[in-house]
Amino acid sequence: MPDEKSSPPLAVREYRDSDHAAVWALWEASGVMAAPDRAQRDLEFCQASVDNALFVGLRGPRIAATIMAGLDGHRGWFHYVAVDPDHHGTGLGRHMVAHAEKWLAGRGAVKVELMISETNLAVLQFYKSLGYGPEPRVVMSREFGS
């Protein structure tokens, strides 16, 4: 795992179409892509909306992290928070979340919401380290037929 001090600093910018292959590889490697067709739909929705953005984090020329931020009119949401496994634990996730928080706050979001499986202790701990805490709510949903 590269050392934060010896690695080039992280540059964050918005996704471009030429990033597609690298982002797909990162999402596959980091396990955030449940299904490629679903991810493609999410990406197209994001690109068509001014209230959604996909950011990539570059270490040198290489895409090492992503975060998708979306505003629902009140709250902000994150999706596809992913760091290249070779770079885990070097502060990239924290940096990407801070970038997306700033972007959302600049668009009037009053808070950020996250949904994390209660058994995913690593991701729970990651967000706790960033100052996030659980809310006493039950998330309910209903799937529409395909």
Residues at the contact surface with ligand COA, assessed by CB under 6 A: 30-32, 81-83, 88-94, 122-123, 125-126, 129
Question: Least Å distance between CB 9 and ligand COA?
Answer: 14
Write the DSSP assignment of 49-109 as a string of letters.
Answer: -TTEEEEEEEETTEEEEEEEEEE-SSEEEEEEEEE-GGGTTSSHHHHHHHHHHHHHHHTT-
Please identify, using beta-carbon distances, which residue of 12 and 92 lies nearer to ligand COA.
92
Please identify, using beta-carbon distances, which residue of 139 and 146 lies nearer to ligand COA.
139
Please identify, using beta-carbon distances, which residue of 94 and 107 lies nearer to ligand COA.
94
Please identify, using beta-carbon distances, which residue of 60 and 91 lies nearer to ligand COA.
91
Q: Which residues contact 113 (CB under 8 A, 6 or more apart)?
A: 75, 76, 77
DSSP 4: T
CB 46 within 8 Å of CB 70: yes
Residue type, 22: A
Question: Least Å distance between CB 31 and ligand COA?
Answer: 6
Question: Least Å distance between CB 58 and ligand COA?
Answer: 14
Please identify, using beta-carbon distances, which residue of 13 and 108 lies nearer to ligand COA.
13
Beta strands at 10-14 and 52-59: parallel, antiparallel or unpaired: antiparallel
Question: Least Å distance between CB 33 and ligand COA?
Answer: 10
Question: Least Å distance between CB 145 and ligand COA?
Answer: 26
Residue nearest to ligand COA (CB): 93
CB 74 within 8 Å of CB 58: no
